Structure 1
Amino acid sequence: MREISMRFDTSNCDAALDDILERARASVRPAAQAATQVVYQEVLVRVPASPKGHWFHGTSFKTTGQKYWFEPGSLRRAIYQAYSADNSTQDHATYHVSWNRKKAPYGHWVENGTSRAPAQPFLRPAYEASIDRALDAGRVKFSESYASLAKGGS
């Protein structure tokens, strides 16, 4: 029986695959942020804003009996998007869209309602209305970022 033996040097392939993975990983966070931006913009459109200012009455242990004045639009101005390093990895980027509870502690009651006020949800409806557009924006940004890195961009 005859034997045929072949050897291939795959070091160039290994380096090329490592480069592909590095570019893909570098493109994850910009893509996630682009997707998040679409959801964030939709939240800003949907968050309710009263035409008048209003009082917030503290109900937690630390604030019971205290009253706080909030200008119109304070909940909208409290909306933010933020990268979450704790919930992200080199292959996965997490962003949060929410409201700053110190700037608008009543946001939870607006979103979920109370025994005296009906819910005026804006986060979930914004997400549901924009998720397809957000994913599309993320895909486009990933492709752009990856292509730019492949050409030597930063």
Structure 2
Amino acid sequence: MSLTINANLGGIENLLDELADNAEEAARPAAQAAAQVLYDAVKLNVASIGRVTGNLDRSIYQVYSRDDSAQGRATYHVSWNHKKAPHGWLVENGHLQKYKVYLGKDGKWYTDKKAPLPSPKHVGARPFVRPAQAQFPAALDAAVAELLKRINGGPP
């Protein structure tokens, strides 16, 4: 006994093409949703350090990377602007302080290279970017939720 089925799969092919197009268009919003979770975590970490001038907090950014992205793949960077807060690396990684520092009349901190400390002082790290990596699972969840919303035809 045999059974013959004739099926027009054109509708399924169109559906799969549409799903692929939706997934490609959803890559950037999904990546941004993940970046937002990490950005929020970094901002919270900076706030927990305490505020001296606020430059570090104002320097935190998230940005879409055209160079690291491609069709169907989006990349965002979350970090701090090194020009706005050059001390960010010292805060994130710790450092050895060799000279006295002082707060100028303009409200900025300065290093007095003419006044070395009697012995160098280790200033411990107060990381704010690295601990945000603990939020990777939540960032992935946010990306998946945004991707599914957009693939299923939800509002942009």
| Range class of TM-score, shorter chain | 0.7 to 0.9
Aligned to 1:134: 139
Name the SS of the counterpart of 2:62 in structure 1: strand
Residue 115 of structure 1 is matched in structure 2 by 96
Structure-to-structure mapping, 1:1-40, within 5 angstroms: 10-40=9-39
Aligned to 2:149: 144
Report if aligned partners of 2:34, 2:140 keep a CA contact under 8 Å in 1: yes
RMSD between superposed Cα atoms in Å: 2.2
Structure 1 SS opposite 2:67:
helix
| % same residue | 42
Q: Which whole-Å deviations, capped at 9, do the CAs of 1:75-97 have from their partners, x for residues lacking one? A: 01100000001101112111000
Tell me, yes or no, if structure 1 residue 98 matches structure 2 residue 104: no
Q: Deviation of residue 148 (structure 1)?
A: 2.2
Normalised by the size of structure 2, how large is the TM-score? 0.72
1:32 CA displacement: 0.8
Partner of 1:76: 57
CA contact (8 A) 2:39 2:61 kept: yes
Deviations 1:8-49 (A, max 9, x none): 665444333221110111111111101110110010000155
Q: Partner of 1:148: helix, strand, or coil?
A: coil
- Contact kept, 8 Å, 2:27 with 2:73, in 1: the verdict is yes
Q: Give CA deviations for 1:54-77 in whole Å, capped at 9, x if unaligned.
A: xxxxxxxxxxxxxxxxxx111011
Kindly indicate whether the alpha-carbon contact (under 8 Å) linking 1:111 and 1:119 is maintained by their aligned counterparts in 2: yes
Gaps of 5+ in 1: 53-71
Matched to 1:118, the amino acid is G
TM-score of the superposition, structure 1-length normalised?
Answer: 0.73
